[in-house]
Amino acid sequence: MPSGKNNKLRPKRLYLYLNFTFFLDIENEEFIITEGVFNKTKTAIQLRKIQQVNINQSFIQKIIGVYELDVDTAGSNKKEGAIKAISHELALELKSRLLDNEEKKSVSESEAFQFKETEDKPLEAEHPFIKISFLSLLKVGITSNYERSIALLLIFFTTLYENFQNFGDENGIYKERVGSYIDENLVLQTILLSIVFFFGVVLVVNVIRVVFKYFDYKITRQKGSLLLSFGLLNTKSTIIKPEKVQITTITRNYFQNKMGILEMKIKQATSGEKEERKSAIEIPGCSEPERDAILKLLFHKIPEKGLMLQPNFRKLVFSIFLTIGLPLFGFIVVGYWIEPVFFEYGYLVPVYVIFIGLIQYFKFINNRLFINDNFIIKQSGAWDVSNEIIEPSKIQAISTSQLFWHKKLNIGSITLHTAGGNIAFQLGNYIIIKQQVNLWLYEIETSDSNWM
């Protein structure tokens, strides 16, 4: 591959490494990748359909000083194009050209690829306007994602316990020696210490995971877009174009509110649920001024909550039936007819009922749909309260439903389908829902938004 100034991207110029080449076809507005030794494969990606371009660097790539560039058009559940080893300067320049398809008028090739400014000033020279500090990452690590860390640790300790049990069955003498260290009078203290140790490990694991993933998180303005870069061992760099954003989620819990931080998640067009989860871009540890700065760049204004819709109380009743009623019925059936020893753990039932009941209550209280002329905001969550923000022009389809026994009650459900995922709201005022649906459908038909 060429080096030095010749590394600049030029029209029709092939970059060859063995049998792998890529170039920009200016006339047809396509990015062409060819590869293969015996079976040649040619991939043509239309520039206007490119949703996201990521620059990644694994630990091994960091050692040898190269980067990987991935191109995603949301047309399938995998990346349409991938370049495994290029320089950082060329990756940034190529990325800028792949995403710089706003200008629709035709220009000459010499005008389209003038890199005088690039040669004098690199693309990454712009100073970041947001930088997530190490302290903010520590705050995020101790206040979020408990479920994931607890699940991983439960799997680890369960596997460890099962192996110890199998070892103890074959070697009874070791089992007796270990058991002798636990005094029967100190069982409660041992359990409490074990719980404290377990949650301590959860916090440590969570902090390490967050710091490794989001270390040195920087957000830079670049031609009206957001350039995000982060990572300790595996470095990732991606660009968010405001017109491509589908759903923006702001999440906060009680502890994060006290510490003055929040988390943001930005979803662009995807091809399915798995791809949706993978492609969601997270911004951890933002302050409120940083959140407002990001929202202004994405939407040119700060979204406001307008008309509020809340679910009917029957949603709470049905949720309690599913999460408390059915499990208790199953507990009684199993204990009475199959395994009576289950009733020995009956003292845990009130704890379960109170805990799950509070979760369902706060979920119901926080479940709201806010509507104004420019934005739709879905609020949800029990502990981590999330606000999902979408613009009506980004809606692809709308589904409404109403059960026949809900007609007299005037309640129904709605699902907003976007290229970044769905937003659902159940058992709200159906007359208002239908009125808003008509307005949104009209806006979709008349909108000239270029989000694809």
| Measured distance CA(143)–CA(251) in Å, rounded | 12
Q: Which of 69, 64, 93, 71 is nearest to 83 (CA)?
A: 69
247-311+367-446 has the same fold as 4-107+114-125: yes
Give 125's DSSP letter: G
Cα 374 from chain centre: 23
Q: Which of 57, 259, 234 is nearest to 143 (CA)?
A: 259
What's the CATH number of domain 4-107+114-125, 1.10.3470, 2.30.29, 1.10.1060, 2.60.40? 2.30.29
Q: Are 130 and 218 in contact (CB under 8 A)?
A: yes
Lowest mean pLDDT among 172-181, 187-196, 212-221, 381-390: 172-181
Whole-model pTM: value is 0.75
Domain 247-311+367-446 has CATH 2.60.40: no
| Measured distance CA(90)–CA(87) in Å, rounded | 5
| Measured distance CA(107)–CA(88) in Å, rounded | 27
Confidence label for 103 from pLDDT (cuts 50, 70 and 90): very low
The SS3 call for residue 418 is strand
Tell me what the mean pLDDT of segment 32-36 comes to: 80
Instruction: Identify which has the larger pLDDT, 121 or 278.
Output: 278
| Measured distance CA(393)–CA(137) in Å, rounded | 34
Domain boundaries, the chain: 4-107+114-125, 127-240, 247-311+367-446, 314-363
pLDDT tens-place string over residues 157-172:
666 666 656 655 555 5
Using CA atoms of 114, 115, 121, 122 in order, give the dihedral in degrees to the nearest 10: 130
pLDDT tens-place string over residues 365-415:
999 999 998 999 999 999 899 999 999 988 989 999 999 999 999 999 999
pLDDT tens-place string over residues 238-288:
888 888 889 999 999 999 999 999 999 999 876 555 555 456 889 998 999
| Measured distance CA(69)–CA(64) in Å, rounded | 16
